[in-house]
């Protein structure tokens, strides 16, 4: 077999499944525990051969340790790097992928070997299809089944030297709870809204419906209309409301996977061929600037 795997852990969520997936293709499985020293003790019982702690104090975000973790892992000659889908772990995984020249897979469900290549089953197309990605070196965000931790004695913990980080958190604020996870009605905003000035149109609809607001990634990252807590999709949040209304959203699988479990989804889009119509029970083909005020009146 001969593959060597490093797992980036900034928390223990899904770690049992990740270690089990790594074991199926590797002789050697190590965990880089990036965070508090308690984290290293916690992950040491998950069945890895080696645990290396990259300790950051509580007021330091772990992401700046990415280059240091990447350098350490690359020097160890690894073939596979894995992490869960938390933002901090993904950020460090990206640094490791660059350092080892690995192919990056965003939604790995399982790993296998094909000769010298690692094969990752990557979930695509709104979770309707799996593509097999094959490469000698692989960095994967693992979102597959979570197994119980492998029973065994805890691995000894080594401490890696870490640079002193100047970036410190200067305060903590409670995230404004969006209630998206439990909302029974959600209105999703897409780039079809075109400018910030048009957002009151959506506020009025959400008010009339008693709905939470969600958005697509560019409405957050590019336009800064909403904070990331409101982004629905593969790399952010999920919602399973009774009713989801997607307004001016094209229907990229990266977004639609975020409302996969909605009981009824409705799309408003002026392009009759928009992909979003394939993911919704009802489609309204029309200009949102006509349709949304009419819906608002109807809900009132």
Ligand X SMILES: Cc1cc2nc3c(=O)[nH]c(=O)nc-3n(C[C@H](O)[C@H](O)[C@H](O)COP(=O)(O)OP(=O)(O)OC[C@H]3O[C@@H](n4cnc5c(N)ncnc54)[C@H](O)[C@@H]3O)c2cc1C
- The residues that touch ligand X, with contacts defined as CB under 6 A, are 106, 190-192, 216-219, 231-236, 248-250, 252, 254-255, 268-271, 274, 287-289
SS3 at position 135: strand
Burial class (CB in 10 A: 0-12, 13-18, 19+), 57: exposed
- CA distances (Å), origin 212, targets 41, 98, 228, 299: 39, 38, 14, 15
- CA distances (Å), origin 195, targets 45, 200, 244: 51, 11, 22
Min dist CB 241 to ligand X, Å, is: 16
Min dist CB 30 to ligand X, Å, is: 26
Spatial CA neighbour of 35 closest among 62, 12, 14, 13:
62
Residues 6+ apart with CB under 8 A from 232: 180, 186, 188, 214, 215, 216, 238, 239, 255, 258, 259
What is the Cα–Cα distance from 114 to 100, expressed in whole angstroms?
A: 20
Min dist CB 281 to ligand X, Å, is: 18
CA dihedral 229, 232, 238, 240 (to 10 degrees): 120
Judged by CB, which is closer to ligand X: 15, or 239? 239
Min dist CB 257 to ligand X, Å, is: 8
Judged by CB, which is closer to ligand X: 103, or 157? 103
Judged by CB, which is closer to ligand X: 221, or 242? 221
Min dist CB 135 to ligand X, Å, is: 18
CA angle (77 as vertex; 73, 79 as ends), nearest 5: 90
Q: Give the CB-nearest residue to ligand X.
A: 233
Min dist CB 10 to ligand X, Å, is: 19
- Strands of the chain, DSSP E: 3-9, 26-35, 50-55, 80-83, 103-114, 117-124, 129-135, 138-142, 157-159, 185-189, 212-215, 243-247, 264-269, 282-285
Min dist CB 276 to ligand X, Å, is: 7
Judged by CB, which is closer to ligand X: 35, or 251? 251
Min dist CB 294 to ligand X, Å, is: 13
Judged by CB, which is closer to ligand X: 53, or 104? 104
């Amino acid at each position: 077999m001969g593959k060597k795997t490093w797992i980036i852990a900034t928390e223990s969520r899904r770690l049992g499944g990740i270690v089990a997936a790594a074991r199926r293709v590797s002789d050697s499985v190590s965990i880089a525990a990036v965070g508090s020293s308690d984290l290293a003790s916690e992950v040491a019982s998950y069945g890895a051969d080696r645990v290396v702690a990259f300790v950051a104090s509580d007021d330091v975000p772990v992401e700046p340790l990415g280059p240091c973790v990447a350098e350490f892992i690359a020097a160890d000659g690894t073939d596979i790097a894995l992490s869960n889908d938390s933002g901090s772990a993904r950020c460090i995984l990206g640094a490791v992928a660059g350092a080892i020249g690995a192919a990056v897979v965003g939604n790995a469900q399982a790993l296998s070997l094909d000769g010298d290549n690692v094969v990752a089953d990557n979930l695509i197309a709104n979770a309707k299809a799996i593509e097999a990605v094959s490469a000698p070196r692989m960095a994967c965000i693992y979102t597959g089944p979570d197994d119980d931790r492998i029973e065994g004695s805890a691995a000894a913990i080594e401490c890696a030297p870490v640079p002193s980080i100047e970036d410190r958190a200067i305060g903590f604020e409670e995230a404004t709870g969006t209630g998206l996870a439990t909302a029974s009605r959600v209105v999703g905003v897409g780039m079809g809204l075109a400018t910030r000035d048009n957002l009151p149109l959506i506020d009025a609809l959400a008010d009339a419906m008693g709905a939470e607001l969600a958005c697509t990634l560019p409405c957050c990252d590019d336009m800064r209309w909403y904070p990331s807590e409101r982004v629905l999709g593969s790399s952010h949040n999920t919602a399973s409301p009774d009713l989801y209304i997607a307004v001016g959203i094209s229907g990229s699988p990266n977004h639609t996977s975020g409302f996969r479990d909605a009981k009824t989804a409705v799309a408003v889009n002026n392009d009759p061929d928009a992909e979003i119509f394939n993911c919704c029970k009802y489609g309204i083909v029309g200009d949102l600037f006509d349709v949304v005020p009419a819906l608002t009146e109807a809900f009132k």
